[in-house]
Structure 1
Amino acid sequence: MLGFYNAVPSLLWSALGLVPLTIFCYQHVARPWLYGFIIVSLLAYGLPFSRFRRLQLGASVGLYQKLGVPRLNHFTQHGTLINWLIRRQYPQYRRVRTRASLAGFARATYYQEQFHLVMFVFFLLVSVYAVVRGNLGWAMLLTFLNVLYNVYPMWLQQYLRLRLAGAPKPDK
């Protein structure tokens, strides 16, 4: 049941971001360009996690709060709304119970940020392609979706790590 609760927002966000992107790529992007964009985007998986600190907006949660990043956490997998729904059925549920689960959670934020960085690069390349080809409406839509589907989720992972750094550590 936990997997189901967490899959729903992930599927909804992915549909919102990826369906328009897929439609544009299928209808307008020449295949050699599409394959090149995919390859260039996948290169972001080679970026070591130590470099992700350079992408961070700041060393405190203040700027993230001003940008509304914590509000996004209400509507994501493992977010406050999903955790509330799970705790209604399983009151003892806690995602982070031990030091090991805390470390696993921190690692997961890097993997999620890395995925959204790869997708950010792909969306960006396709958006630039749309501008060059004169599809300004598509370019604006894809740029908006890039911010919503990739930039804010990357900021959310950074925000969560900053919150973890300041949180008391579990005993075990």
Structure 2
Amino acid sequence: MGQLINAFWTFLCFLPVTALWLRYASQNQLWVITALSLAALTIPSRWLQLSKNPVFYQQLGVRFIRKFVQNGDSYKRKKIIHDAASAIRYRSTIRMYERFHFFCLLFFFMSTIVALIYIQYLTAALLVVSNIIYNVCPLLLQQYNYARLKRFEQLNKSR
């Protein structure tokens, strides 16, 4: 069921991006924006972390977001972290998702600028909404998960 949810959101949120690039923008623009988005992945993850406190993310509505995502609150979840090795694997998974959505965030943002240049205001508005749903929300969720994981690891070290 979780993968179906991912496929749904990916399809829905990539529609305006795909429409823009197929109808208006040039292949050279696509390469430049892709390269810039990829280059930004060299920024260390720790520089992108908004807060180390999980409560910060809860105040931004992450608990609401969790109702709509794979392995979220509305699904029966199995325990992900059992020991130190599973915590390390989970940290890697968090960072992988975070990097993917950061790349997409930048790609969608620059695509929005391209849409505005081509006076495609409806497409630009759809891109902004898609960027929030598909990238901002998951980034906040991954940062929340990372903050919770770090707090869990600190509590286990002090025991």
TM-fit CA distance, 1:94: 2.5
After TM superposition, the structure 1 stretch with the greater mean CA deviation from structure 2, 71-80 or 137-146, is: 71-80
Residue 19 (structure 1) aligns with: 15
Bigger shift: residues 26-35 or 114-123: 26-35
1:31 aligned to which of 13, 23, 27: 27
Superposition CA RMSD, Å: 1.9
Offset at residue 153 of structure 1 (A): 0.7
**Residue type at the aligned position of 2:22:** Y
- CA deviations on 1:58-116 (whole Å, 9 max, x unpaired) are 2212221121112212222222233x1xx6xxxxx422222211111111111110000
- Opposite residue 27 of structure 2, the aligned amino acid is R
Corresponding residue for residue 79 of structure 1: 72
d(CA) in 2 for partners of 1:13, 1:44: 24
Task: Tell me the TM-score normalised to structure 2 length.
Answer: 0.87
Cα deviation for residue 6 of structure 1 reads 2.8
What runs of 5+ residues in structure 2 fail to find an aligned partner? none
Per-residue CA distance 1:114-145 (angstroms, 9 max, x = gap): 00011111101110111122112211110111
Matched residues, number: 155
Match of 1:90 in 2: none
Q: Is 1:41 the equivalent of 2:37?
A: yes
1:99 matches 2:87: no
Where do 1:1-172 residues align within 5 Å?
5-47=1-43, 51-82=44-75, 84=76, 93-167=78-152, 169=156
- Contact 2:51–2:147 under 8 Å retained in 1: no
- 8 Å Cα contact 1:44-1:114 kept in structure 2: no
**TM-score normalised by L of structure 1:** 0.81
* Structure 2: distance between partners of 1:9 and 1:101: 24
CA distance in 1, matches of 2:72, 2:86: 16
Tell me the SS of whatever aligns to 2:74.
helix
Q: Report the alpha carbon displacement of residue 18 of structure 1 after superposing the two structures with TM.
A: 0.9
